């Protein structure tokens, strides 16, 4: 298996310049210089500040952006702006964007397409609600979300898929390794049948939802789990343990 392990920290709408200093300190002290593919997603107003203080081997992501280059879209930021300040990634389709801010599959897919065209790398998030899981619709939901994206993605090499079951986000209820592996495996099969075998083999599918220093190693043993997207624990020292889950 050649897929490189990938860990993203999603800081969401947390922290400030002062509290980020602690994060810079534990990343500087504890992260070995040869880590690969570690990205942190930062509130847009702090992207520039974090860029100037983060260890250089960690990449920077915005947590959202709009689907066009520029214009009268008050409050939005564009992929060009994200690139301009030196960030290289954007998180799109996070469940909080979908469920709190009402972003549709189509809007998420358009944002992904535009970000890729502009040269950003994308963490594309998908995942089902608890009610959807309980009614046996997990695959139907994640395949529908994937299908919308498929029409807008030409180059999958710059995409990481984050499977984040909504019921596991911020709840302390992690999917079991077997539950996560099952969905990741089904996703890879769907990709093989609907996109290509090559993309299915190479695209990284990471898991998100209450990942911690203590559960990351078991999850990381599963063959289709290629890393994590971490919320709460990415603000704490244990993030380093998660980055090293396969070491």
Ligand X SMILES: O=C(CO)COP(=O)(O)O
Handedness of CA 58, 87, 20, 209 (dihedral sign): negative
- 172 CB neighbour count, 10 Å cutoff: 9
CA 200 – CA 222 distance, rounded (Å)? 16
Is residue 170 at the binding interface for ligand X, with CB under 6 A as the rule? Answer: yes
Is position 164 annotated as part of the catalytic site?
yes
Q: Which of 110, 164, 184, 238 is catalytic?
A: 164
Give the nearer residue to ligand X in terms of CB position, either 20 or 167: 167
Is residue 138 at the binding interface for ligand X, with CB under 6 A as the rule? Answer: no
Is residue 37 at the binding interface for ligand X, with CB under 6 A as the rule? Answer: no
CA 149 – CA 226 distance, rounded (Å)? 20
Would you give the end-to-end CA distance of the chain in angstroms?
A: 15
- What is the b/e burial string over 203-227, where b = at least 16 CB atoms within 10 angstroms of the residue's CB? bbbbbbbbbbbebbeebbebebbbb
CB of 154 to ligand X, least distance (A): 25
Is residue 63 at the binding interface for ligand X, with CB under 6 A as the rule? Answer: no
Give the nearer residue to ligand X in terms of CB position, either 27 or 229: 229
Where helices occur in the chain by DSSP H, the ranges are 17-30, 47-51, 79-84, 95-99, 105-117, 130-134, 138-150, 177-194, 197-202, 216-220, 239-243
Is residue 238 at the binding interface for ligand X, with CB under 6 A as the rule? Answer: no
| Segment interacting with ligand X, rule: CB under 6 A, options 82-90, 105-113, 187-195, 225-233 | 225-233
Give the nearer residue to ligand X in terms of CB position, either 10 or 44: 10
Q: Which of 94, 114, 121, 152 is catalytic?
A: 94
Is residue 164 at the binding interface for ligand X, with CB under 6 A as the rule? Answer: yes
| Residues 202-221, interacting with ligand X (CB under 6 A) | 208-211
Is position 94 annotated as part of the catalytic site?
yes
- The per-residue DSSP string of 177-216 comes to HHHHHHHHHHHHHHHHHHT-HHHHHHSEEEEESS--TTTH
State the DSSP H helix or E strand holding residue 122, giving kind and residue range, or none if neither.
Answer: strand 121-126
Q: How many residues bind ligand X (CB under 6 A)?
A: 14
CB of 123 to ligand X, least distance (A): 8
If DSSP codes are grouped into helix, strand and coil, which group holds residue 233? helix
CB of 72 to ligand X, least distance (A): 30
| Segment interacting with ligand X, rule: CB under 6 A, options 105-113, 175-183, 195-203, 223-231 | 223-231
| Segment interacting with ligand X, rule: CB under 6 A, options 25-33, 143-151, 213-221, 226-234 | 226-234
Show which residues are catalytic: 94, 164
Q: Contact residues for ligand X (CB under 6 A)?
A: 10, 94, 164, 169-170, 208-211, 229-233
């Amino acid at each position: 298996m050649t897929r490189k392990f990938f860990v993203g920290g999603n800081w969401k709408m947390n922290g400030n310049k002062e509290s980020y200093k602690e994060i810079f300190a534990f990343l500087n002290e504890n992260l070995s210089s040869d880590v690969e593919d570690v990205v942190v997603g930062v509130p847009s107003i702090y992207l520039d500040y974090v860029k100037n203080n983060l260890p250089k081997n960690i990449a920077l992501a915005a947590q959202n952006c709009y689907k066009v280059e520029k214009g009268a879209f008050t409050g939005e930021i564009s992929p060009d702006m994200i690139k301009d300040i030196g960030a290289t990634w954007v998180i799109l389709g996070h469940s909080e964007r979908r469920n709190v801010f009402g972003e549709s599959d189509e809007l998420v897919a358009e944002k992904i397409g535009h970000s890729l065209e502009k040269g950003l790398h994308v963490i594309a998030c998908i995942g089902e609600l608890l009610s959807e899981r309980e009614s046996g619709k997990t695959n139907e939901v994640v395949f529908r979300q994937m299908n919308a994206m498929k029409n807008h993605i030409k180059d999958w090499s710059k995409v990481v898929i984050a499977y984040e079951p909504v019921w596991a986000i911020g709840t302390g209820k992690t999917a079991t390794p077997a539950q996560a592996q099952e969905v990741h495996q089904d996703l890879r099969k769907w990709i093989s049948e609907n996109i290509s075998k090559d993309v299915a083999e190479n695209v990284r599918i990471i898991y998100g939802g209450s990942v911690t220093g203590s559960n990351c190693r078991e999850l990381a043993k599963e063959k289709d789990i290629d890393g994590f997207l971490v919320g709460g624990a990415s603000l704490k020292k244990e993030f380093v343990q998660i980055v090293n889950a396969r070491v």
